[in-house]
Structures are given as C-alpha cells and as structure tokens.
Amino acid sequence: MKRTITAFFAMAALAAPALANEPVSISDIGIGEALQEKAEEYGQRELDYLAREMRTALERELGDRLGENGLRLDVVIVDATPNRPTMEQMASRGLHMSSISVGGASLEAHLFDAQGAELESYAYSWRSHNIRDVVGYVTWTDARRAIRRFADDIGDSLDEMDASGS
C-alpha cells in the first residue's frame, strides 16, 4: 500500500503560542487541474461528490476544533480514479457497472495561521495495488479510503501540534 504524508513546519518558534488549541476553518475544497480535466469524462457531479466527501471527513476528524478566526485549512483533491465507472462514463462510453479498475486519490492541504502565513503542508496519495483487490468495491471506494486517511493524518498532526505546544 502506497502511503505518503509529508509535513513541513514553518516559523515554529514564532507561531508556537498561537497554534495551541486554535480553531480551524476549512476553506472550500479545491479540485486540482488533473482532476478538473476529467470533469467531462467523470461528470461534474462526481467531482462535487468527492469534494463533499473530503469536507465530511475533515469535519468528522476536526469536529471539536472547527471554528473561525484561527487557523485555515486549504485542501485540494489533486487527482482521483474511480474503481467502477461513473454515471457519465456509463452513459457516454457504454461502460457497464461490472467494469472494475484500480482506483485511488492524490490530495494536498496547506495550514495557514490567522495572518496567512503557511504553517504546514500535507500531501497524501493512495491507490489499490492489484485489480483483484477491488472486487466488490463501488465507484469511489479507494478514493474515499484515501480521503478518510488523509483527514485522519491531518487530525493527528494538529493533535501533535497541540501536545507539543506548537
């Protein structure tokens, strides 16, 4: 399983007192250029669905931390691949719901303080390794798995920042 997360701390010494227990607001979920180019193939409805899934996962993970006038989290779904054809693909390309493929998602996020200085960057990518692994999956199973793991990693990172006081 490919799992990558990177975090870069900037201005830790200056921002330390300001970060502990700061509320976090989530900006509109962005769609990366690579994924936006697939909007016609997948259907815009599918991209909207993925953005809602990302927001829901973050809200669930950051629930007690959510608020205004503190930190801001900007998230982009860089790319995503479905495990099963989307409605648009079935209609336009004649694919059947029984078609399967290796799916997944690549995601990025940036955490900013109230003054707009970037405090941390996150990147995460996950894809199935084997077509045999996707039997029984629905359209966005692997992408949703990547989204949930990414949200968990961001939540863990914020918890660590609170614990360390930075």
- Check: CB of residue 3 under 8 Å from CB of residue 124: yes
Report how far apart, in Å, the C-alpha atoms of 2 and of each of 27, 41, 140, 146, 149 are.
27, 26, 17, 10, 12
Q: pLDDT per residue over 62-118, tens digit each?
A: 999 999 989 999 999 999 999 999 898 888 887 778 888 899 999 999 999 999 999
Tokens read off for 148: 């949930």
Residue 166 confidence (pLDDT) above 90: no
Domain boundaries, the chain: 12-161
The Cα 94–Cα 81 span in angstroms is 18
CATH numeric code, 12-161: 3.30.160
Give the separation between CA 99 and CA 77, rounded to whole angstroms: 24
Tell me: the pLDDT tens digits for 20-72?
578 999 999 999 999 999 999 999 999 999 999 999 999 999 999 999 989 99
Whole-prediction pTM: 0.85
* Beta carbons within 8 Å of 159's beta carbon, 6+ residues apart: none
What's the rounded Cα separation, in Å, for the pair 166 and 150?
Answer: 21
